């Protein structure tokens, strides 16, 4: 199954994301990874499941009631999207694999997206999504975290609160209740609200961008290695002298996301 979306890349979503990230509003070109606020799936409310995810679409749970998590992906920005120009995105599932993890049976699904503007492929992305069984549980978050000290060539501290989580859910049209409904998050096995994986990935890309590292013409690969749970001040940091690797740390010092800039197809 393939799903296509098309729209004009208007300034509004980028302006809103800039306000959320505390960045300058782009004028002509959309910064790398900011395409996540464009060409979104917008299913009707009645088509959403009890968890907030669409019941039908390119990606659907392999079995009823399975819990969805964002696991990782790879993004190649061949050229930035231009503001004011029409763009199209096509999406399709390219791989499905069953595994068994510490929380029980898992199904990994890889979705490939291609974004075209003016007849030219601008962005190629593969997103890895994992489903776990309805009765699986997650380890609780450790209590009383300590402040994090990160040694590296570049880092930043970012405070995450309920308002920011709500705004990012709205900007990305993500209705998954684990990001704004504490009771639901606990029912899915989390101790508190869950910080979006894509938000952490964006923060890694933004750290590089503000350090003058361009990912245009490169592949930015990332993994969400642990759930970040609860409102807190996270740390995003470069982890190599050449600024090609990055990580996000929760306020207890645990790595929750990792990123890498590399040649396409690496």
Q: Which domains does the chain have, with CATH numbers?
A: 2-262 (3.10.129.10)
Residue 119 is predicted with a pLDDT of 96
Residue 163 is predicted with a pLDDT of 97
Terminal Cα distance for the chain, rounded = 27
Span 41-52, average pLDDT: 87
CA distances from 61 to 36, 46, 51, 132 (A): 22, 17, 12, 9
CB-neighbour burial class of residue 144 (10 A; exposed 0-12, middle 13-18, buried 19+)? exposed
Task: Tell me which of 76 and 49 has the higher pLDDT.
Answer: 76
Is-above-0.85 flag for pTM? Answer: yes
Residue 144 is predicted with a pLDDT of 44
Q: Identify the CA nearest to 99 among candidates 62, 53, 57, 140.
A: 62
Say if residues 182 and 131 touch (Cβ distance below 8 Å): no
Cβ neighbours for 181, distance < 8 A, ≥ 6 positions apart: 193
Is a pLDDT exceeding 80 seen at residue 36? yes
The per-residue pLDDT for range 136-176, each reduced to its tens digit, is 655 444 444 445 556 567 899 999 999 999 999 999 999 99
Average pLDDT, the chain: 89
Say if residues 212 and 261 touch (Cβ distance below 8 Å): no
Residue 64 is predicted with a pLDDT of 65
Helix/strand/coil for 34? helix
Over pLDDT 70: what percentage of the chain? 87
């Amino acid at each position: 199954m393939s799903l296509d979306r098309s729209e004009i890349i208007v300034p509004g979503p980028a302006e809103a994301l800039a306000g959320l990230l505390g960045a300058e509003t782009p004028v002509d070109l959309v910064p790398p990874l900011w395409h996540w606020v464009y060409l979104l799936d917008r299913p009707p409310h009645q088509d959403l499941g009890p968890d907030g995810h669409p019941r039908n679409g390119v990606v659907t749970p392999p079995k009823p009631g399975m819990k969805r998590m964002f696991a990782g992906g790879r993004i190649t920005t061949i050229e930035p999207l231009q503001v004011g120009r029409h763009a199209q995105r096509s999406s399709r599932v390219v791989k499905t694999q069953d595994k068994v993890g510490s929380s029980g049976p898992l199904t990994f699904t890889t979705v490939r997206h291609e974004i075209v503007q003016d007849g030219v492929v601008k962005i190629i992305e593969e997103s890895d999504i994992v489903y776990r069984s309805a009765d699986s549980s997650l380890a609780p978050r450790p209590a009383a975290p300590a402040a994090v000290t990160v040694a590296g060539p570049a880092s930043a501290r970012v405070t995450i609160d309920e308002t920011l989580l709500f705004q990012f859910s709205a900007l990305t049209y993500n209705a998954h209740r684990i990001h704004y409904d504490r009771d639901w998050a606990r029912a899915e096995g989390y101790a508190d609200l869950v910080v979006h994986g894509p938000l952490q990935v964006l923060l890694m890309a933004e750290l590089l961008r503000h350090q003058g590292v361009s990912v245009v013409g490169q592949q930015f690969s990332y993994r969400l290695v642990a759930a970040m749970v609860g409102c807190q001040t996270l740390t995003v940091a470069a982890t190599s002298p050449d600024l090609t690797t990055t990580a996000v740390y929760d306020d207890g010092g645990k790595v929750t996301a990792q990123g890498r800039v590399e040649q396409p197809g690496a």
